[in-house]
Structure 1
C-alpha cells in the first residue's frame, strides 16, 4: 500500500510539473578560432537533457522550463566546459572550447564549473576531475588527493589511507559518495576507505566546518565524490583503464560501459587490482628495541587485492530524474607481519619470504556493499531532492591464536567463533535526506532539508576493542543565499542536530582470577547517551574582475563515537591499549576562514588562512601506565578532552613563464596548541608538518605523436616536525622529487590516454610524521613507476 501511495504521489507531481511552460535553449559550438565543431555533446542539468551539435556546430534543446541550469559541453580533443545559464524564455547559449587555460591551480578542473563553485561557496573549495586522479594516482583515492594543499593522509601500508584536512582526520572529515555519507569502520587507523578511485568522475574538497549541510563529523571538511556524468542521448560509451606499479608489482584494470536511450541510462564498471609486498629504501627496521631485517627491502605480508563492481541506472527527464547506484568493494590485504601484535621474534620469516605476493596471517578482509537512490524533481521555482542509502560494511581480521594474559594456552573448541578470528565488525547503515530549494528570484535562493541516519555495528572474534553499538542521528537545516550582483554573494545557514548512541555490555570469553576466585571480567558496560546542538555559518564572497575575496565564520559540532566512549582493548596498529571515556561531551568547533585570490592571463596567486577554536577537543592521551595482563605490555591511552586553538592556511601561486611552460608553488601550514588538560602547551597527536610543492609543468599541443602532451616535475619540501606529543618522536625534514608525463595518442581511429609517474625518483629514505608506521621507524615507500593507459570508446544507439 505504501509503494502505491508513493507512486500515486509521484504521478500527481509529474502531471503538475508537465503542465508548466517550456522554452528552447539553442546556440553554437566553436573553437577559439571560430571553427565550427560538429558532433559536440551538450548536456543540460538538472534534468540531464542532451543533444549533439549538427554539421555547422548548432544545437537545439526543447522542453526547458524556467530556472537556472548548468550546461556541459564536451568534444574530443578539447577541454570540457561547464557553465550556468538562466532560462526564463527562449534562450541562446554559445560557447568556444579551448585547450587548458591558466587557472588558479593546474590541479583543478580547468573549466567554468570550478570557478563557479569557488564563487558560490564561501568556504574554500578544490575541484578535481578524473584526469587529475589519473595523473596523480596513488595507492588509494585519498593518496591521489594528497597533492592538494591542505590535504594529507594518515597511512598504514601502501593501500590504506585516511583523509586529513588541515590536520583534522578520522571522524572529523566526512566522505560523501553520490550524496550519501560513506560509513565504514573509519575510526580505525588501518581501516581504509572502501572507495574505488577508478569509478570517480570528480571530487570536491571543502576545507573548513561544513556541518551545516553535511551534519555531525564535518568539523574539518568534506570529501564529496561524484559520479554525475551521463552519456548523451542515443549513445553508448566507455573506457578501459590499465594500470601497473613497480614498487609493489601492482597490475590492474578497470572497465566501464555506459549507454542511454531516450529517458533511460545504465552504467556498469568492474575493477580488479592485484599487488605484492611493497618495498622501502631500508634493509631493516626498528620495532622498539628489536631490529628486524627485511628480505630484499620488502615489508612481509603487505600484499593484497581488490575486486570491485559498480552498477548505475535510472530515469532522466527534463523535470524529474531518479538514479540508482549499486556497488560492492571487496578487498583482502595482509598486515606487516613483524609489527602486528609486537611479536617480531615469532614471525616465520622463511615462510613469508618464499613469495612477495601471497597473503598469510595476519590479514584483513573487507566487503562493502552500497545502494544509493538519488531523486530530483522540479515544480515551478522549487526543486526537490531525495537521497536514500543503505550500506553494509563487513570486516574480519584474522591471525594465529596466541595466548595473552589469562587466555587459555589452547583455544577451546566450544566457542562460537573460529580460533583465527581476531576481530569481526558487521555494520549496517540506513541514510535518508530530503531537500527543497526555492529560487525566490534570480538573486535569492532558500534551501531547507532534513537528514537522518541509523547505524548498527555488531562485533565478534576473540579480541575486543569496541563494543557493539546502535547510533541514530537526525538533523534539520535552512540555508539562504543572496546575490547582490553577479560578483557579490552572501550566505547564511542554521542547523539543529540530535543524536543517540547505545553501546552494549561485553564480557571476556575467558575467566580471570579475582578476589573471590575467578570470573568473566566486564570490558564494556551498557551505555545510552544522547546529544543535541545548534550549528550555524555565515559567509560572504566577492569576485570583481581578476579577484576573488571570501570570508566565512561558523560553528560545528561532532558526537563522540563508540570507540571514544567505550574502547577497552589493544590497537595493534597504534601499538597501544586504548580506554574510552563514557563522560565525554559533544565536540564543538568555531572557525574563521578567509581567502584572497588573484588571477590574470599569466599569473594566479591565492592565500586561504583559517583560525579554529575547540572548547572541548577529544583526543587520545598517552599515560605512564602499561597493561601487561590484557594489553600485551602496550602503553595505556585514555580518551580525554581539552581546550585547543589552531591556525594555519594554504598558499598557491602559478606563473606562465612561456606559452607552454608554467611554474607554481603550493604550501600549507597548521599550528595546534592544547590550552588545558594534562598536555597543556603541547600540540595535537599526528600534527602534519609544514610542507610545500614547487612545480614545473610543460604543455605542448602536439609533440611527436602525442596530442595534449605534458611533462611535470614536483619538488616537495617537508619541514621537520619537532612539535610533538609524547610518546611521539620528532621527524626530520625531507625532500622528494616526483615526475609525471603523458598525453593522447591516436592509433588509427582509436584514442589512447597515457600517463606515467615516477614517485620518489631518487629512492629517498624518509619518515612521514602522520603515518602510524612512524612509531616503529618504518620509512615510506621507495621509488615507484606508475603507468596508466586509458582507452575510451563510443558509439551510437540507432
Structure 2
C-alpha cells in the first residue's frame, strides 16, 4: 500500500515536471509618490516558497515560475507599508508595485496558517504576525516572546526555561503548535516541559486566535502557533546569520548559527543552537536546581521548480532541565550558580522528519505534508536510570487539494491522519502505554465580493485511543481503555473592508477535542508536578461553540484593533484537587512514606469570554506609543465558580523612539510598563488569588555597518525594579500544589538584562 502511494506521487511528479509551462515573471517596485525605483525590495510568494529582491532599477524576475495560477505576492521594504496582492501568473499585464512610505507597520500581512493564503484584511481569522526582529530581546524562549507581544496570548511557566502557550485562556492540548507543516506531537498534556522547538529557527510566527480545528482537527480549540522557517534566498545566493545573547538573571547563554542557499532551484538550510543557564533568580534568591541546557540541530534539503516544491526537513531537540521536589517548609532558594544539574531532573528529546510538498497542476494544486516524530521524556530521581520514561512515536499525513477557482469561489478539500504509539520504559508508571489513531476530512470555500469576503467549511474527525492494561506485582495499575470519538464541526467567517484604513472580521463555529491518554488513564505520581494524578476512562470529548469579532484600523497617526470573543465548551476536561484529598506512597529511593495531593480528571461545562486589542499612536515619525491589552473571564458553569488556570488581565505599554542617527541604522530605544491585574477569580478548591503588579522594562539597539556588513547590537531589560510578584500562571506560586502551607511558593524571575548580537550575512546576486 505504501509503495503504491509513493509510486502514484512519483508519477504525478514526473507528469507535472514534463508538461508544466513555465515563465519568467517580471515586474518593478517603485515609490508611489515619486515613482522612483526601490532597490532591494523583497518579493515573496509564500505558497511557492520563493523570494527575490529588486535590482538597481527596482526590477525583479521570478525565474521558472508556473505559467498559470493565482498566487499571493508580498512585497516588503524598510520604511514602507507591506504590500500584498493576488496575481494571476497567466496575465500579460506588466507588474508594477507602487509602495507607500510609512512610519508604521501595516495590518496587511500574509497569513499562511489558514486553509487559503491571504492578506490579513481579507482573512476572517484573528491573527498576529511576529517577525524575527520582534522575537529577539529579553524573552527566554519562543512562547515567552509571544506572550509579551501578542494580545490574547499568555504562558504557563515553571521558571524561565519552561513555557506553555495559552490563547484566550486555553492551553495544553487545546493549542496546536505547527512547524514544517506538521503538528508538534510532544505529549502536550505534561505541565513541566515547553514546546520542543528551537526558538531561533523561526523566520516569523503566525498566532491564530480562536478555533482552527477546521484545518487542524482535534486540539485546536484555542488557536494555532504557526512557526514559519526563514525564506529561501533567490537562485545563486547564500544567506546566513549568527545570533549570540546573554541574560543576567540566570546566566542564560544562547548561540545559534544558520546557513541557507539556493542553486538553480536546489535549496538547503542548516542550523545549530546551544543554550545553557543556571538557576533563575527571584528577589528572594535563586530557585534551587532550576537550571537547564538545550541543544538543537536542524537541516533542510529540497527543490523549488516549476511544478512546485519538495522540501525534506530534519530536526533534533535535546533539553535537560532540573526541578525541585520540595515539601512545604523546605528551603526554596540558593546562592549557587552551578550549571551542573542536580537530581531530580528531566531530559526531553524530540526527533522530527517532515516532507513538505506543493504540486502544481495548472490552476489547481496539492499540498502534501508527511511527518514522523519521536518524543522521549525521561525523569531522573536520584540516579542516571530514568524513573519515568515515555517514548512516543507519531506518523502523520496532511493533504489539501486546491481546486480551480469557479465563479469567484476558491474551494479546498483536505484529509489528515496520524498514528501514535507510546510505551513506558521506566520503572515508575503514570500513564499506560497506548495507541492513538486519528482521521479527518474537511471542505472549505471562500469568495470575495468587492469589499466583502465570505468563507465557510465543515469537517469530520475520528479519534481512537487504546490504553494497555497493566499489572505490577499482581496489582492492577492500569485497567486499560478502548475509546472511539467522532465529531462534525463547522465554521463561518466574514470580513468587510470599509476602506484602506478600516476593516471588520467575524467568525462563528464549532470545534472538537478528544480526551488525551493522560486524561483517560493516568494513575501515579507525577514527579514534575509533585502530585498524584488519576484519569477517567469515561471522559467524553470536548465540544466548543464560539464566536468572535474584530475591528482593525490603521492610518498614519493611529493603528489598532479591538476584538471580543466568547467560547462555550461542553464537557471541558481538567484535573482538580477537591476536599484536600491526599494519598500516601512509599518513596522508592528512600523507602519513606510521602503524601501527595490527588488530582482527578473530570468534566464540567465552561464559558470563556473576553476582549483583546492593541493601540499604537505615532505623534511624530520617530515616536511610537504602543499598547496591548487582554482580558479573559472563565466560568465553571457546572459548579458556578471560576475556572482554574486563567491568566489575569494585562496591559502592556511601551514608549518607543526611533530617531535618525548618523552612522547607524534602525536605531531605537524604548521604555515599557506592564500592568498585570489582580486575579481573584480562581478555583478556590486548589488555587489561591494573586495580587496585581507592575513591571518596568527598557531597551536600546541599533544596526552598524562594518564596510557592507551589517551588525545589530541590542540590550533589553525586564522587571528592572526587581519586583517581587507571583503571576497567576506561575506553576510554582503558593497554593498551586499545596493547601497545607499557603506560603509554599516561588516568586517569578526578578531583574533580567539581555545583551545580544545579531549578524546577518550573504550574497545578493
Counterpart position of 1:294: none
1:380 and 2:362 equivalent? yes
Partner of 1:633, secondary structure, is: strand
Does residue 524 of the first structure (1) align with residue 492 of the second (2)? no
Q: Secondary structure at the match of 2:146?
A: helix
Out of 607, 610, 623, the residue aligned to residue 578 of structure 2 is 623
Residue from 519, 524, 538 that aligns with 1:569: 524
Q: 1:104 to 1:94 in 2, by over 3 A?
A: closer
| Aligned counterpart in structure 1 of residue 380 of structure 2, from 369, 381, 398 | 398
CA contact (8 A) 1:423 1:464 kept: yes
The reply on whether 1:143 has 2:144 as its aligned counterpart is yes
| Correspondent of 2:393 among 408, 424, 428 | 428
The one of 329, 350, 357 equivalent to 1:368 is: 350
Question: Which segments of 5 or more consecutive residues in structure 1 lack a partner in the other structure?
Answer: 283-296, 402-417, 512-519
Q: Is the 8 A contact 1:423 1:460 kept in 2?
A: yes
Alignment of 1:97-116 (within 5 A): 101-103=103-105, 116=118
* Contact map agreement 1:47 1:318 (CA 8 A) in 2: no
User: Which residue of the partner structure matches residue 184 of structure 1?
Assistant: 186
Match of residue 720 from structure 2: 761
1:95 alignment partner, one of 91, 94, 97 = 97
Q: Distance in 1 between matches of 2:330 and 2:725?
A: 25
1:790 corresponds to: 758
Within 5 Å, which residues of 2 pair with 1:642-657?
Answer: 642-657=604-619
After superposition, where does 1:87-236 map in structure 2 within 5 Å? 87-95=89-97, 101-103=103-105, 116-135=118-137, 137-147=138-148, 148-227=150-229, 229-236=231-238
Match of 1:582 among 532, 537, 543: 537
CA change 1:12–1:358 in 2 (3 A) is: closer
Which deviates more from structure 2 when the two are superposed, residues 239-248 or residues 227-236? 227-236
User: In structure 2, do the counterparts of structure 1 residues 203 and 681 end up closer, same or farther at CA, with 3 Å as the change threshold?
Assistant: same
1:298-377 to structure 2, matched below 5 A, reads 298-335=286-323, 337=324, 340=325, 342=327, 355-377=337-359
SS across alignment from 1:773: coil
Q: 1:498 aligns with which of 442, 454, 462?
A: 462
1:271-286 alignment, distance < 5 Å:
271-282=273-284
3-state secondary structure, aligned to 2:431: coil
Determine the C-alpha separation between the residues in 2 that align with 1:146 and 1:321: 33
Who is 2:678 aligned against? Answer: 720
Distance in structure 2 (CA, Å) of the matches to 1:260 and 1:79? 28
Per-residue CA shift, 1:197-231, capped at 9, x if unaligned? 11101111111111100110001111111115111
SS of 2:640 mapped into structure 1: coil
SS in 2 for 1:662: strand
Match of 1:446 in 2: 411
Equivalent position of 2:26 in the other structure: 26
How far off its partner does 1:101 sit?
3.5
Q: Specify whether residues 345 and 8 from structure 1 end up closer, same or farther in structure 2 by C-alpha distance, changes over 3 A only.
A: closer
| Residue 497 of structure 2, aligned match among 540, 543, 553 | 543
> What is the match of residue 595 of structure 1?
550
Q: 1:363 to 1:45 in 2, by over 3 A?
A: closer
CA positional deviation for 1:67: 1.8
Q: State the 1:263 CA deviation.
A: 1.5
Alignment correspondent of 2:511: 556
Secondary structure, in 3 states, of the residue corresponding to 2:200? helix
Which residue of 2 is the match for residue 703 of structure 1? 661
Q: Is residue 488 from structure 1 mapped to residue 490 from structure 2 by the alignment?
A: no
- Tell me, in whole angstroms, the C-alpha distance in 2 between the residues paired with 1:4 and 1:617: 42
How far residue 86 of structure 1 moved from its aligned partner, in angstroms, is: 2.6
Equivalent residues in 2 for 1:660-675 (5 A)? 660-675=622-637
SS of 1:197's equivalent? coil
1:461-495 per-residue CA deviation (whole Å, 9 max, x = no partner) reads 2322211111010000000101112x211010000
**Which range moved further: 190-199 or 659-668?**
659-668
Aligned counterparts of 1:171 and 1:387: Cα–Cα separation in 2: 21
Does the CA contact (< 8 Å) of 1:431 and 1:454 recur in 2? yes
- How many matched pairs? 740
1:469 paired with 2:454, answer no
1:101-160 Cα offsets, whole Å, 9 max, x none, are 32468xxxx85669953223322111111111014x522111110021110000112211
Query: In structure 2, do the counterparts of structure 1 residues 521 and 736 end up closer, same or farther at CA, with 3 Å as the change threshold?
Result: same
* Larger displacement relative to structure 2 (602-611 or 142-151): 602-611
Distance (whole Å) between structure 1 residues aligned to residue 565 and residue 3 of structure 2: 48
Work out whether residues 547 and 596 of structure 1, in 8 Å CA contact, stay in contact via their aligned partners in 2: yes
1:23 touches 1:90 (CA, 8 Å); kept in 2? no
The CA distance in 2 between the partners of 1:691 and 1:504, in whole Å, is 44
Q: Is contact 2:22–2:306 with CA below 8 Å preserved after alignment?
A: no
From 555, 564, 572, give the equivalent of 1:609.
564
Q: Is the 8 A contact 1:23 1:66 kept in 2?
A: no
- Judged with a 3 Å threshold, the aligned counterparts in structure 2 of structure 1 residues 615 and 787 are, in CA distance, closer, same or farther, namely same
- TM-score, scaled relative to structure 2: 0.92
Q: What is the match of residue 636 of structure 1?
A: 598
2:220 partner SS = coil
Among candidates 614, 636, 640, match of residue 681 of structure 1: 640
Give the secondary-structure state (helix, strand or coil) at the position aligned to 1:302.
coil
The CA deviation at 1:421 is 2.2
Q: 1:780 to 1:98 in 2, by over 3 A?
A: farther
CA distance in 1, matches of 2:469, 2:577: 25
- When the two chains are superposed, the root-mean-square deviation of aligned CA atoms in Å is 2.5
Q: Secondary structure at the match of 2:282?
A: coil
Matches within 5 A, 1:231-246: 231-246=233-248
Cα distance in 2 for partners of 1:80, 1:615 equals 41
